[in-house]
Amino acid sequence: MVTNSNSNKTIITAALVGATTLKEQNPAVPYTPEEYAKEALKCYEAGASIVHIHARTDEGLITQNPKRYEEIIQAIKEKCPEILINITGGTGATEKERLSPIKLLLPEICSIDTQTMNWVNINPKTKKVMYEGEYVNTFHMMIRMGRVTKRLGIRPEIEVFSENGLYNILYIQKTYKVFVEPIHIQYVFGVVGGAPFSIQNLAHYRAISPPDSTWCVCGIAKDQFKANACAVIEGGHIRVGLEDNIRMPDRSLAKGSFEQVEWASKLIKMVGRQVATPDDTKQILNLRR
């Protein structure tokens, strides 16, 4: 549970690189373990307490190879031992593939996605569809991943892309009790195929989520900064980083995820809240010590 001393603190997660963002779009996107480590340290120094990891090869290809995750996380921890690790649980066709690096490396946090949906990447200038596919998240996968992470003491970050995903996870938890309560939810806004950000959507999600749940917001591309701003004001936690957006609020190319963390830290302080440290974050999210 969140203690009174932590109720005014906001956690910043830095999502360093996702499954699709490339150096061609922003040269600061990390590929090598050393690049991940340097960026993680900069994000920590700017105020982030968590880094969210998708693994890439040196050539920039997405990979679910557990050994590659091990190389990346080892490099990060050598340079910045304080930072907390959040491994994606969304890459891979099966729950076995998704859980493989998580079971090997036992991060503090991992993401679990909540619905099967159309996943679409659109060129913002030409509006052409660059990629389209079915992103599969079955009940079996969610239940299995919930049970494994519960057994291993890993905190799931439950990714909600629309109202449907939230209802899915509420039903699964009520029926199967696969997550330690209070659950931690991340509302993801702006994925084409999911829900866009609006104050009304955020308020609706909060109204139907468990009242004791901790929650975080991330917004994709143009939704990033307005979603973050509303979440901070409402007492939630936030995610920034080049996985979600390669630019700053003035539309200039971000120098790295760390520059967005710097912006987030300033925002948190401007509204009278405090930036959570890694130790604060462990208490707020009930992470294993």
Question: Which of 54-58, 152-156, 174-178, 222-226 has the weakest average pLDDT?
Answer: 222-226
Domain boundaries, given as residue ranges, for the chain: 4-284
In this structure, are residues 268 and 42 in contact, taking their beta carbons and an 8 Å threshold?
Answer: no
Positive or negative, the Cα torsion across 135, 140, 144, 150?
Answer: positive
In this structure, are residues 240 and 220 in contact, taking their beta carbons and an 8 Å threshold?
Answer: no
CATH topology of domain 4-284: TIM Barrel (3.20.20)
pLDDT in tens, 31-46: 999 999 999 999 999 9
Residue 255 pLDDT grade (very low, low, confident, very high; cuts 50, 70, 90): very high
Q: Would you state the pLDDT for residue 234?
A: 96
In this structure, are residues 219 and 225 in contact, taking their beta carbons and an 8 Å threshold?
Answer: yes
Tokens standing for residue 155: 């905190």
Check pLDDT > 70 for residue 235: yes
3-state secondary structure of 20: coil
Tokens standing for residue 53: 């990891």
Tokens standing for residue 113: 């996605």
Mean predicted confidence (pLDDT) in 227-255: 97
Cβ-proximal residues to 145 (8 Å cutoff; 6+ apart), any chain:
89, 95, 98, 99, 112, 156
Q: What are phi and psi of 67, to 5 degrees?
A: -65, -35
Q: Hey, what amino acid is at 98?
A: R
Residues making up the chain, counted from first to last: 289
The total of other beta-carbon atoms located within 10 Å of residue 266's CB is 12
Residue 35: closest CA among 24, 25, 27: 27
Report field, pTM of the whole predicted structure over 0.85: yes
Q: In Å, how far from its chain's centre is CA 118?
A: 19
In this structure, are residues 143 and 178 in contact, taking their beta carbons and an 8 Å threshold?
Answer: yes
Mean predicted confidence (pLDDT) in 242-260: 97
Residue 55: closest CA among 47, 67, 63, 45: 63
Check pLDDT > 90 for residue 127: no
Q: Would you state the pLDDT for residue 120?
A: 81
Mean predicted confidence (pLDDT) in 102-115: 97
Check pLDDT > 90 for residue 208: yes
The rounded percent of the chain whose pLDDT value lies above 90 is 90
Question: Which of 7-11, 54-58, 91-95, 154-158 has the weakest average pLDDT?
Answer: 91-95
Q: Would you state the pLDDT for residue 159?
A: 98
Q: Would you state the pLDDT for residue 187?
A: 98
How far apart are the C-alpha atoms of 172 and 175, rounded to whole Å? 5
Q: What are phi and psi of 120, to 5 degrees?
A: -130, 130
Q: Would you state the pLDDT for residue 155?
A: 98
Check pLDDT > 90 for residue 97: yes
Check pLDDT > 60 for residue 1: no
Mean predicted confidence (pLDDT) in 15-40: 96
Q: Angle between the 66-79 and 95-105 helix axes, to the nearest 10 degrees?
A: 40
Residue 284 pLDDT grade (very low, low, confident, very high; cuts 50, 70, 90): very high
Residues paired with residue 187 on neighbouring β-strands, in sequence order? 160, 217
Check pLDDT > 80 for residue 279: yes
Q: What is the mean pLDDT of the chain?
A: 95
Check pLDDT > 90 for residue 122: no
Q: Would you state the pLDDT for residue 121?
A: 78
Q: Would you state the pLDDT for residue 243?
A: 97
